[in-house]
Amino acid sequence: MAKRNVDSEVLYTEVAKLLTDLKQCVVLTGAGISAESGIPTFRSLGGLWEKYDPAVYASIEVFRKDPSKYWILRGDFIRNYDSYQPNNAHLALAGLEQMGIVRCVITQNIDGLHKKADSKHVIEVHGSLREIYCLACGKEYRVPHIPGGTPPYCSCGGVLKPNTVLFGEQLPRDALTKAQEESAWCKIMLLVGTSAVVQPAASLLFLAKQNGAQIIEINIEKVFPDADYFIMKKAGIALPMIVEEIKKIPIL
Ligand code: APR
């Protein structure tokens, strides 16, 4: 059972002390950390999967037959990629990395906001919308220089696909391997804004737990029953509060 599952000042002080004492923190983030940047989540109330069936709009099998479905789902998000900005949660994690407390961020998000927040060690296990490739000739395109059309086609006639992992696709091997190594090594896993239901990303949490890591969950709903600490608050509020508590701890 979670040792502490109330959102109180004491909790923030305890979590700040734990992070400062142990350091070796790895973060696993999901769509919830980007909600305050105006990006919809998938399974929260009003989430993307309430409107679109992922088996139709986000599966590689369907993409191969009818790539317009994925571009109907993601076209606007891709073309407006540069307009999305990191929020205080992303910035707080970049700050914790600079403090030597966070070693890396493993994200399921494809929005690139951790890198925009200047986190240096980011593992994008589901890829990113930043890069778009022609499936025929491999030519790389970058937003905003994407041809029009749903779906857009390469000058060679091939269809374009973002460098994101669709359902039914393998995760990038090097990213998954690195994420597994980091999860097995860490002493603390900070779980932020994820329903932790999609594999293999969700298994990283259990890998950390079985290797003795303390699990600190930040979410607006309780997801992981075995968390050692649970902060029920928006990530954009909770993470800056943790950073402020850490700054109060005297450096010996
Ligand atoms: N702060 C913290 N947590 C939040 C916030 C917020 N402001 N807003 C929402 N949440 C939480 C929700 O309570 C939910 O538990 O974020 C979580 C989002 O869960 P999902 O929508 O399932 O997103 P995610 O866990 O990232 O999904 C994993 O599923 O469909 C695939 O590829 C997709 O990468 C995605 C994967």
Atom 36 of ligand 1, residue of closest alpha carbon: 198
pLDDT in tens, 209-249: 999 999 999 999 999 999 999 999 999 999 999 999 999 99
> How far does residue 36's CA lie from ligand 1's centre (Å)?
12
Q: Which amino acid residue places its CA nearest to atom 21 of ligand 1? A: 42
Residue 9 has pLDDT above 70, yes or no: no
Q: Is the pLDDT of residue 3 over 80?
A: no
* pLDDT at position 250: 84
Q: What is the pLDDT of residue 8?
A: 64
What's the pTM?
A: 0.96
Q: Report yes or no on 65 lying in a domain.
A: no
| From 7, 44, 239, mutation site for ligand 1 pocket: most ligand atoms within 8 A of C-beta | 44
Average pLDDT, the chain: 95
Number of domains within the chain = 1
Establish if 148 belongs to a structural domain: no
Give the confidence band of 11 by pLDDT, cuts at 50, 70, 90.
Answer: confident
Catalytic residue among 114, 121, 126, 145: 126
Query: Distance from the CA of 106 to the center of ligand 1, in angstroms?
Result: 14
Contacts of 192 (CB under 8 A, 6+ apart): 27, 28, 29, 30, 32, 33, 89, 93, 217, 218, 219, 235, 239
Exposure string over 97-106, b if 16+ CB within 10 A, otherwise e: beeebbbbbb
Residue 2 lies in a domain: yes
How remote is the CA of residue 192 from the centroid of ligand 1, in Å? 9
**Catalytic annotation on 121?**
no
Tokens 């749903």 appear where? 150
Is residue 182 a part of any domain in this protein?
yes
Task: Look at residue 67 and tell me if it is in a domain.
Answer: no
Q: Is residue 231 part of a domain?
A: yes
Q: Where residue 248 sits, what CATH number does that domain have?
A: 3.40.50.1220
Measured from the Cα of 42, ligand 1's closest atom is 21
What are the pLDDT digits (tens) for 111-137?
A: 999 999 999 999 999 999 999 999 999
Structural domain for 196, as ranges: 1-39+85-126+171-252
pLDDT tens-digit map of 20-30: 999 999 999 99
